[in-house]
Each structure stands twice: as C-alpha cells, then as structure tokens.
Structure 1
Amino acid sequence: MSKKWYFYSCIALIVGVITTGFKPYKFENLNWFYVNESDEVLHYTVPTAEELEYTNVIFPQTGKTYAGFKQALAFKESQGKYHLVNSFGYMGKYQFGMGTLRTIGVRDSLHFMNSPQLQEKAFNALASINKWILRDEIEKYDGKVIKGVTITESGLLAAAHLGGAGSVKKFLKSNGNRSIKDGFGTSIKSYIKKFGGYDTSHIVANKNAKVK
C-alpha cells in the first residue's frame, strides 16, 4: 500500500512540475521593449530590414531651435536621406546642386554624398551666405505680413535654400505678387510660411563662408 502511495505521489509531483513549467508569462508592452515581470529579464525587439526602409519617418521633436529648423527642412527636401539624388540631380540630405557646392568650396560630389558631416557643414555655410545676401531684407521685412504670410528670418533662409536668395528678394520686392517656384512646383511663399519662426539668430552672416 505504501509503495502504491509513493508511486502515485511521485506521478502527481512530476505532473505538477511539468504543468507549472508551461504557465504563460505576462508581458507589459512598452513600445519596443517587453518586460518579463516574473524574472525581470528585459526582452526587446528591433526594426526589421524592411521597417528600416520605411520613408514615412517620424523625427524626434526639437522645437523651434536651429536643430529643429535643419531637421524640418531636411525632411521636406529629402526625408532626411544623405544619399538621395533627385531627378534634377540635386544631392544629399539638403538637396544641393553642384554649382552651389562649388561656391562653398565643395568640388567632389562623391565625397560629398558619402560624408554626412560634410553635408551638415555645407548647409551651415550656405545659410551664412544667404543670411549675408538677405541681411537688409531680414531687417526690413521681419515681422511683416505679405499675402497672409508672416515674414521671419528662418522663413527667408529656408526659401533662399529652395530657390536662391535672388528669388527671395524678387518675391519681397513684388509684395508677394511674383509666384516663384522650383522644378517640382514648390513656391517661395510656401517655404517662408512653413519654416517661419525658427531660431536662426546664431547664424553668422558671411558672404565668403566656405566648408572647412
């Protein structure tokens, strides 16, 4: 009798151990991270190769700072892609033409495309040049409203990046009556509006700015 009791007790114990071993764990969903509450082990997932190719990227918010200005403009120009070349031959994160690059000291397009650091420096240099060219317009028109759009320094610099400082001057002198657009139909006015109100005050106006 005792042997049978011992045998059935062992069976019950084994069954109990096996069944408890298959109890589901409860996970807390924290976006990319999953925390196992029972053993405090951190489980995580990362984007797949396919997910990394998504073009609808949501950039972290940086407000109305200069970093935010560059971020927003880059997303509009290329969705923030350093290696993008559009159908007109404009290159990189900020879509530079080769002629513009030469004016700021960049002559090797391949090196430019393969260097994010160089592309960032190029943007800063061009912003300095445009600010110098538009220095009088910035002082004269800042805060004024033209065709329903409030004129700001950052808006003018963004528009100059799109269509050149000369086009921005023509737009302002015509009181917004001259509709100036790029090859894709994007207007100077839309850039002045979209990129208005960012802090670009620390950009030093320099007509001879170069990439170093």
Structure 2
Amino acid sequence: MIKSSVKNIVIPFSICVLMALALYPSSSLNPESYSTEGLELNYNISEDFAMVSKDHAVKYNMFTPYLGKSFEGFKEALAFKESGGDYFTVNTLGYLGKYQFGAETLKLIGIYTPNQFLYNPELQEKAFIANAERNKWVLRKDIKRFEGKHISGVKITESGILAAAHLAGPGNVKKFLRSYGGHNLSDAYGSSVRYYMKKFSGYDTSMIAPDKKARVTL
C-alpha cells in the first residue's frame, strides 16, 4: 500500500519536472558550456537511410550523386544543367525538352515534329544518344588529338568535348580546341564551350559509338 502511494506521488512529480525543463526559456542556456570535443562525429548517411537508392536513380534516370562519373551520370548531369531534368520545358529561345534541343539539330538526327518530340520522353532519350554519336564522329580526330591536354586551364576529356558540342555544336568545339581556347563561344545565357569542357570533364562516354549517320528510330 505504501509502495503504491509513493509511486502515485513520484510519477506526477517526475512529469511536472520534465514539463518545467521543456518550457524553461532557451535564452538562459549557455552554448559555451556545451562542446563536441572528443566525440566521434560522422555526417555521412548510409544508402539504407538515403531517400533515393542507386538502383532507383539509374532505373528512373534521376540525377543524384550515386551516378558518379558513369554515362548515366554524364547524361543526367547535363540534363540537370540544361533544363533541371524537365522533359516538357521550352526555354525563351525555343529550345525543347530535357536536353534543350533546337529544331535544326533535331532535323540532323531525323526528327521533324518538335511537338511530338517535346511530349515523348523516350524520343528525347534516343535523340540525346543519336546526337552524341553524330558529334563524336564529327570530333573523332579532335578527341584523339587533344584528349588529356590542358587548354585554357581545363583538362580536355572526351565527355567534356561531347558536352560542349551539345551546347554549341561540334564546329565551335573544333574552333575552341584548334585555337587553344582563343575561340570560346557562349550561348545566350552565358554558358561557354570552356565552361562545359570543365564542368563535364572526366565522365565515361565510351559507350557512345561515333556514327556519321546517326538517326532516331522508335
């Protein structure tokens, strides 16, 4: 009976103490009295706790750090820069989709209906591959000649060359390389050939086969 009475007193008292501590003004706390010195801190989040797994990212073509320097990483990083990864966007200059294609470039790879292109993600993905294949064929000699060299403070890599060609066309990439950075075209939004060369350097684009007649087929 006595034990029961003590319990009935202690529990409500404990609850009151906890509530008082919770409501105690934070301004009275002294941050200098707390320290992380001597603690082993780890700010890395394991994949188990990540919101998006690597397999999920690859399957749904999402731009995440998991993709690294793979071809998927290259493709999605470039798409993120171009459009934020939005298949259905059109910019102020009329460039279309996830990879921001112009109508004239689409014609080169066999696409003559921009509206159909804009609302067809599968077609956009195939267009990116076909355009990269065509650009790689046009720039094949320059890739061989300049890859690994430094121009205008940038290490030249195949992926950087292909990204810059996507931005400004293979002709302007040739001019940049052969002028050793003297010809550095920028688009209407201020992105330059040199900037793309640097930003997209070092990705694995070996799966892109150079193809002079690359076309899109569904």
Question: How does the TM-score come out when normalised to structure 1?
Answer: 0.72
Computing the radius of gyration over CA atoms, which structure comes out larger, 1 or 2? 1
Shift of 1:60: 5.1
| Structure 1 counterpart of 2:191, one-letter code | T
Map 1:49-198 to 2 at 5 A. Answer: 59=64, 61-198=66-203
| Structure 2 counterpart of 1:108, one-letter code | T
Q: Tell me, in whole angstroms, the C-alpha distance in 1 between the residues paired with 2:185 and 2:50.
A: 44
Shift of 1:74: 0.1
Q: How many percent of aligned residue pairs carry the same amino acid?
A: 54
More strand by share: 1
Which structure 2 segments of 5+ residues have no match? 1-48, 52-61
1:58 to 1:170, Cα distance in 2 relative to 1, 3 A: closer
- Counterpart in 1 of 2:211? 206
Q: Tell me, in whole angstroms, the C-alpha distance in 1 between the residues paired with 2:155 and 2:104.
A: 31
What does the per-residue CA deviation read over 1:105-157, in whole Å, with 9 as the maximum and x for residues that have no partner? 11111111111000000000000000000000000000000111000000000
1:175 to 1:156, Cα distance in 2 relative to 1, 3 A: same
Shift of 1:179: 2.4
Q: Tell me, in whole angstroms, the C-alpha distance in 1 between the residues paired with 2:214 and 2:179.
A: 29
Greater shift, 100-109 or 117-126, is seen at 100-109
Which structure 1 segments of 5+ residues have no match? 1-29, 33-56
Greater shift, 169-178 or 67-76, is seen at 169-178
- Secondary structure, aligned partner of 1:107: coil
What does the per-residue CA deviation read over 1:14-55, in whole Å, with 9 as the maximum and x for residues that have no partner? xxxxxxxxxxxxxxxx787xxxxxxxxxxxxxxxxxxxxxxx
Q: Tell me, in whole angstroms, the C-alpha distance in 2 between the residues paired with 1:123 and 1:178.
A: 25
- Counterpart in 1 of 2:26? none
Shift of 1:183: 1.1
| Structure 1 counterpart of 2:163, one-letter code | A
1:31 to 1:144, Cα distance in 2 relative to 1, 3 A: closer
| Structure 1 counterpart of 2:87, one-letter code | Y
- Secondary structure, aligned partner of 1:137: helix
Q: Tell me, in whole angstroms, the C-alpha distance in 1 between the residues paired with 2:125 and 2:140.
A: 22
| Structure 2 counterpart of 1:208, one-letter code | K
1:126 to 1:197, Cα distance in 2 relative to 1, 3 A: same
- Counterpart in 2 of 1:36? none
Shift of 1:177: 1.5
Paired residues, what number? Answer: 159
Question: How does the TM-score come out when normalised to structure 2?
Answer: 0.70
Q: Tell me, in whole angstroms, the C-alpha distance in 2 between the residues paired with 1:127 and 1:189.
A: 18
Shift of 1:59: 3.0
What is the RMSD of the two structures over their aligned residues, measured on CA atoms? 1.5
CA contact (8 A) 2:63 2:80 kept: no
More helix by share: 2
Q: Tell me, in whole angstroms, the C-alpha distance in 2 between the residues paired with 1:143 and 1:73.
A: 21
CA contact (8 A) 2:130 2:215 kept: yes
